[in-house]
Structure 1
Amino acid sequence: MRTKMFCSFLSLFIVLSLSAQTTQKPVLHGRHWMAITGKPLAATAGSMTFQKGGNAIDAACAMLAATSTMWDVLSWGGETQALIYNPKTKKVIAINALGVAPTGATADFFKNKGLKYPPGDGPLAAVTPGTPGGLMTMLAEYGKLSLKEVLAPAMQLAEGYPIEKQTADMIERNKAKLKSWPYSKQVFLTHQGQEREAPSPGEIFKQSDLLATLQKLVDTEQAALKAGKSRKEAIYAANERFYKGDIAQEFVRGCQEQGGLITTQDLAKWKVLIEEPTVTDYKGIQVYKLKEWTQGPAMLQALNILENFDLKSMGYNTAKYIHTVYQSMNMAFADRDFYYGDPYVGPEEPIKGLLSKEYAKQRAKLMNLEKNDPKVKPGDPYPFEGKTNPFLPVLEKWNPSPATSALDPSRSNVHSPDYLAGFYAGTTSIQAADEEGWVVSVTPSGGWLPAVIAGKTGVGMSQRMQAFVLDPAENPFNVVEPGKRPRVTLTPSLALKEGKPFLSFAVQGGDSQDQNLLQFFLNVVEFGMNVQEACEAPNINSFQMRSSFDNHDTKPGDILLHENTPPWTRKGLQEMGYKLSYEARTSGPINAIYFDWKHGSFWGGSSNHGEDYGIGW
C-alpha cells in the first residue's frame, strides 16, 4: 500500500512539475482553423489556403503538396494515408493512397538478385506513386477549392524557394548516391564539380520539371471546367492525366530507363481506396487508425492490453510504468510483424481477433511484470474470431530474435547512426481542423532523399518496397507480389469522445510512430497533460520489433530513454534486464490538435525538435 501511495504521489509530483514548466514551444490557440505540419513554409501554405476560404481538407492538401515539393521528408511519388472526420456524417473516413508492387516484383525476382529483402533505395525500391491520387481524391471528395487554388503555394515553391539547411545538408550527404541517377543528379546537385555540390542553406532551389508536371495537372482541371465539367469531375480529369496520360508515360519511361519495374498498366490500374478505419474504445474514448496495411492497429492492440492495468497509479515514466508500456508494445508489434499485410490480397488477416478485448486480456495475463521478455512472440488471435489458425506450424517456428546487431561496437549501449536513421526513417505529418468541423490527420511519406527522380516529371519515386518480406516464414501476409501493398509504418490518428473530435495526432519516425503516439495519448488521457506538454514529454522507444526498413533488424531489450531519466528509474530498468541508451529528445516529433468544446476552440501542439510548425486563427 505504501509503495502504491508513493508511486501515486510521485506521479502527481512529476505531472505538476511538467505543468508548472514553460514548454519549449507554446500551445497554439485557434478559434476558426488550425494548420500544423513538418515545415514552417508548408504550414504557411495551409494558412494561405484557409484564408482563401478553404476548409481543413483544402488546407491539408495544400500542406501535403508543399511538403512533397520541399522533400520533407517525402516526394510527390510517395504514398499518402489519412483519417478524416466528416462533420456532416459524424463519421471517420480512412484514405488508402498507398502504392502497390509493380509488375515483375516477386519474391523470386529479388531472391535471384541475392537479396534477403527488396532494396531500401533505388529504382527497384519503388511502389506505384500514391500521393498525387491521394491528394486529388481527398480534394475532389471533401474539399471546397479548385486544384489550381490548392496547388498554388506548392507551384510557387517549385518556381524557387530558399532551401532550408536540413534538406540542403541531406542532399550533400547523399550526393554520391544521387550521382548514379541522372535525373536526380540534375535536380539536386546544383553545383556539380564544386566541393559542395548540393544547394547551400538559403539558396533559391528551383524544380522546373516538377513545376511543369503540376502545371499540367492544373491546365487539365481548368480545361475540364471550361468544358462544363463539375469541380469534382475536373479534379479527377487531372488525376487521370497523372496516372493514364502523358505524365504517366514519362514517369514510366524514366523509371524503366533507370532499372525500375513500374509499367503504364501498373499506374492505370491503381486506385485510391476510401475505407472504414479500425477503432477501439479506451475508457470511453474511441481511437481510430487505418487498417492492417499500416502498423496503426498495433497501437489499438497496445491500448487494449494496457486497459487491464492501473497505469496512473504506477506513476508517469516510473520503471514499472515504462516496463508495462514497453511489454504491451512488444506484444502488439510481434503481432504486427507476423499478421499484418494488405487486406485486399490473401491470405485474410485475423484483424477481428487481434483487436478483440478478450484477446488483449489473454495477452496481458502473459506479461512478465518483473523482467523484460526478449522472446515475446505473436499470439494466436484466430480463436477469438471463431477460427483455427492456418499458420500455427509457421508461428511455432517463428524466431523473435534473428541474429542481427544494431549496436555500434565502438560505443556501449548506443545505437549506430545508420541503424537509427533506418529505424526513425522520417516523413512528415499534417494536422488540420476548421470551424465547420472537418478534421484531417495525415502521415504521408515515400520518395525521401536520396530519391530516384522519374524522368522529366520531377517526381521522386517511393522506397516503400523494402517493407515487404520475401520469406512467408517471417510474415505470410506481407510477402511481395505484383499489385500488393506493403505493410507500412505510416499511421495517422483520430480520437472521438462523446461523439465529437477529441484529439487529432500523428508523428514521423518509422517504427517509432505508434510507440510515440501511444505515449502521447496516455500523457493526455492518464496524466492530464495539455497537447503541447504531451508533444514534448519524454517518451521511451523499444527496438524489439522487427524494423520495417533495410535488413529488418531487431534488438530485444534495448530501450531508448530521455537523458533526464532519474537514476532510480535507470537502475530499476537495468534490474529488469533492459539495455539503456539516451537522447535529449525522445518524443517524436509529434503534431496534434486538441478540441476544447467547453470554450469552442482548438489547442495545437507541435514538436519541439525538427522543423515542425503550426499556425492557428
Structure 2
Amino acid sequence: MIARLFRPFTSAAPKQTRLLATVALAAGLGVAATAPADAQSTAKPVLHGRHWAAVTGKPLAASAGAMMFARGGNAVDAACAMLGTTSTMWDTLGWGGETQALIHNPETGKVVGINALGVAPTGATPAFFRDKGMVYPPEYGPLAAVTPGTPGGLMVMLAEYGRLSLAEVLAPSMEMAEGYPIEGVQADNIERRRDIIAQWPDSRRIFLPHLDENNAEQRAAPEGGELFRQLDLLATLKKLVDAEAQALAAGKSRKEAIYAAYERFYRGDIAKEIVAATREQGGLFTEEDLANWEVHIEEPVSTNYKGIDVYKLTTWVQGPAMLQALNILEPMDLKGMGYNSANYIHTLYQTMNLAFADRDFYYGDPYFPPAEPIEGLLSKDYAAQRRALINPEKNDTGARPGDPYPFQGDKNPFTKLLEEWSPIPPAAEADGSDGFQQAALDQDEAFIAGTTSIQAADADGWVVSITPSGGWIPAFIAGDSGIGLSQRMQSFVLDERINPFNVVAPGKRPRATLTPSMALKDGEPIMAFSVQGGDTQDQNLLQFFLNVVEFGMNVQQAAEAHNVTSYQMQSSFGAHISEPGRLDVTRQLPPYTRDRLKAMGYEVDVVDRTYSPITAILIDPEQGTFQAGASDYGDDYGIAW
C-alpha cells in the first residue's frame, strides 16, 4: 500500500546510495529509518544544497530568495524577499496581511518568534457586529480587516537579523509590481471572484482591468500570461525604499534606515492613505490603530518529542495544538501500529480531537487579558490525563476541552463556560444585507484555504520558517496604496461561550491558524517546515513530522504523503462549523482499512488528494548540508545550492 503513495521520478543516484543517505539522516535525527519508506519514489526529487536552500509556494518567489543568496544575503534576507514576492503575486496573501515566523539565530543559539499579526481596529466589538446581524465578523471587505502586519514583519525581520538593504530585498517585488505574467490559475481565481471584487473601486480597478459593465459576459480579469500591473503597489514600495535611502543619506545605520521605512508605512503618508480609503468604504481603522500597532519579537513555545525539541509560536496561532498532540502521542508505539493503519489513523484523529478542542476554547491573544494557560496545556502530565480519555475502539464525536489549570498550579476562571461548551458552535445564518455576506469560499474551501509557506536556511546556521497569510483574493485594496487588506477578523468569535480568550476587542489579535515550525536536536536546528491550508495546517504538519521521525521518510517523501484530514475541530473561518467524525482519506488507503474506520464511527470520505502542500528543509547534522522538499500539490517550489 505504501508503495502506491508516491509517483516515480527518475534519479541518477543509485537506489542504494539514496537509501544509505536517508538512513544516515534518520540516524542523525535520532530515529530509525524503515525500509518501506526508504524504498519509495517521489514526483519531485529531494533538493540537496551545501550553502543554502530556499523553498516556498511559487517558483518565481523561490527565485527571489535565490537572488538574495547570490547577493551575499543570509536566510533571513532570502525569506523576506520570498515573502514580498508571494505577497505581490497574491499567493493566497497580500501585502496587508499578516506574517508569522520562527528564526534560528546562530549568533545566540536561540529560536525567536516574529508576531506580525494585525489587531482589531477601534470600534470592533461584539455589539458592533451583532447590531449588523452578524454571528461572526465578516469574511471579506473593509470590516474583515485587521491592521496590516506583513510590511512591518518583513522590515523588523530584515532590520534585526538580515544583512541586505530594504531596497535590495524589495527589488524583486517592485519589478513584479511593475508587471509580471500572471499565472492562469490565479487569473481564473480573480475572474471567479469578480462580483465580490467589483464592490470596491480600487480592487475593481486593479484586479478587473477588462471589466465592461455593459457586457457581463466579457472576461474582466487578466488572462493567464497577461502582464498584471500593480502600479499603486509599486509606488508604495518605492516610498519605503525612498525613506530608507533618505535615512542612509542622513547618516543613519542600515538598521535605522529600515526602521525609517517602517515609520513611513505605519505613521506616515502610507498609513494615512490606508486609513482614509478604508473608512471611506465603511471600515473602522484609525491612524492611531496603525501607529500603535507593533511587531513583537517573542519567545516561542516548545516540547521535546523523543529527544527532538519542536518549536511553535504561542496561543495567538494554533501551533501549540501540534505540541499538545506530540505530548499525547509520545509514549505510544506508533511505528508498531503500522503506517496509516486503521489503528494509527484512529489514534492520530483522537489525539487531534483532544488537542484542537483545547485550541477552540483556550487559545487567544497572549498580549490581551485573560492569560492563556499555556504552561498547563503543554504539561506532559496534562497530556497523560488527556491520553487516558482515548477510546481505542471508537471515535469520540463529543471530545471536549480539558482543564489545564491544575497543571500550572492555578484555578480555572471559566469553569462554568467549560461545562456549557459544545463542540458544535452556534450556526451562522444569513439574514439579508445586514447579515452574513455571500461566502467568498464554501466551507470546505475555507477549511483548507489560505496562505503560503516559506523556508530558508544557510551554511552560517540561520534558519527561517514563515507562514504568512491574509489579504487573499477577493481582497479589499485600500485606495491608492495598492495594499490588499487582511480578512483575519473572521477568526474572532463574538460569544465567550465559544472561546473566552478569542472574543473580538479593539487592539486584540484574532487567534489565527498560521503555524511555522522548527525542530532542533542537541541545540542545533535540524528541520524547518510549514504548510498552507487553514485549519488543516497542524494536522498536516503533525503527520509530516511523524512521517520523518517515526517512519523514516525523507523530506520529499514526507511532503508528498497523502495525509488524512479531520473536520472535527471548529473552523476558524466563515460560520466556524464543526463536523465531528468526518474523515477525508485517499484511494491509496485500502478498502478494508476504510471499512474498519467506518466501523469505529467515522464518516469516511474518499478524495483524490488530501490537501497537504508542505514545504520543508532538513539539515543533515553529519554532512552539514541541506535536504529540501516541496509538495507536489500546486506550485510549491524550491532552489538549493
Q: 1:519-598, aligned counterparts within 5 Å?
A: 519-586=543-610, 588-598=612-622
| Residue matched to 1:61 | 80
Name which of 465, 472, 492 aligns with 1:448: 472
| Residue matched to 2:457 | 433
Distance 1:20 1:278 in 2: 35
Distance 1:405 1:339 in 2: 22
| CA displacement 1:108-127 (0-9 Å, x = unmatched) | 00011110000011110000
| CA displacement 1:508-529 (0-9 Å, x = unmatched) | 0000000000000000000000
Q: One-letter code of the match for 2:150?
A: T
Name which of 489, 494, 499 aligns with 1:470: 494
Q: One-letter code of the match for 2:160?
A: E
| Residue matched to 2:293 | 270
Name which of 346, 369, 376 aligns with 1:353: 376
User: Cα offset for 1:21?
Assistant: 3.0
Name which of 136, 141, 155 aligns with 1:136: 155
Q: Is the 8 A contact 1:80 1:130 kept in 2?
A: yes
Distance 1:178 1:386 in 2: 51
User: Cα offset for 1:538?
Assistant: 1.5
Distance 1:587 1:73 in 2: 15
| Residue matched to 1:76 | 95
Name which of 101, 115, 127 aligns with 1:108: 127
| Residue matched to 1:160 | 179
| Residue matched to 2:418 | 395
Q: One-letter code of the match for 2:38?
A: S
Name which of 42, 56, 67 aligns with 2:61: 42
User: Cα offset for 1:308?
Assistant: 2.7
Distance 1:471 1:422 in 2: 21
User: Cα offset for 1:502?
Assistant: 1.2
Distance 1:275 1:587 in 2: 30
Distance 2:572 2:627 in 1: 33
Name which of 297, 315, 322 aligns with 1:292: 315
Q: One-letter code of the match for 1:483?
A: G
| Residue matched to 2:25 | none
Q: 1:242-261, aligned counterparts within 5 Å?
A: 242-261=265-284
Q: One-letter code of the match for 2:482?
A: G
| Residue matched to 1:229 | 252
Residue ranges of structure 1 left out of the alignment (5+ in a row): 1-13, 407-415
| CA displacement 1:381-402 (0-9 Å, x = unmatched) | 0110111111111100111134
Q: 1:120-519, aligned counterparts within 5 Å?
A: 120-193=139-212, 195-402=218-425, 418-519=442-543
Name which of 106, 115, 134 aligns with 1:87: 106
| Residue matched to 1:410 | none
Residue ranges of structure 2 left out of the alignment (5+ in a row): 1-32, 430-439
Distance 1:90 1:419 in 2: 42
Q: Is the 8 A contact 1:58 1:139 kept in 2?
A: yes
Q: One-letter code of the match for 1:548?
A: S
| CA displacement 1:223-280 (0-9 Å, x = unmatched) | 1001100000000000000000000000101111111111100000000000000000
Distance 2:269 2:183 in 1: 32
Superposition RMSD in Å: 1.4
Distance 2:375 2:426 in 1: 32
Distance 1:223 1:400 in 2: 55
Q: Is the 8 A contact 1:64 1:444 kept in 2?
A: yes
Name which of 116, 120, 132 aligns with 1:97: 116
State the TM-score, normalizing by the size of structure 2. 0.92
| Residue matched to 1:602 | 626
Q: One-letter code of the match for 1:589?
A: P
| Residue matched to 1:5 | none
Distance 1:97 1:365 in 2: 37
Distance 2:311 2:425 in 1: 32
User: Cα offset for 1:583?
Assistant: 2.2
Give SS of 1:25's match.
coil
Distance 1:446 1:222 in 2: 29
Number of corresponding residues: 595
Q: One-letter code of the match for 1:352?
A: E
Distance 1:319 1:166 in 2: 36
| CA displacement 1:140-161 (0-9 Å, x = unmatched) | 0000000000000000000100
User: Cα offset for 1:16?
Assistant: 3.8
Residues 508 and 473 (structure 1), Cα distance of their counterparts in 2 relative to 1, 3 Å cut: same
Distance 1:573 1:594 in 2: 33
More displaced stretch, 429-438 vs 186-195: 186-195
User: Cα offset for 1:17?
Assistant: 4.2
Q: Is the 8 A contact 1:545 1:556 kept in 2?
A: yes
Give SS of 1:580's match.
strand
Identity of counterpart residues, as a percentage?
66
Q: One-letter code of the match for 1:49?
A: M
Q: Is the 8 A contact 1:405 1:554 kept in 2?
A: no
Q: 1:21-40, aligned counterparts within 5 Å?
A: 21-40=40-59
Q: One-letter code of the match for 2:113?
A: A
Give SS of 1:602's match.
strand
User: Cα offset for 1:404?
Assistant: 5.6
Residues 377 and 109 (structure 1), Cα distance of their counterparts in 2 relative to 1, 3 Å cut: same
| CA displacement 1:506-564 (0-9 Å, x = unmatched) | 00000000000000000000000000000001211110000000100000000011221
| Residue matched to 2:8 | none
Q: One-letter code of the match for 2:485?
A: M
Q: Is the 8 A contact 1:535 1:606 kept in 2?
A: yes
Residues 107 and 79 (structure 1), Cα distance of their counterparts in 2 relative to 1, 3 Å cut: same
Q: Is the 8 A contact 2:155 2:258 kept in 1?
A: yes
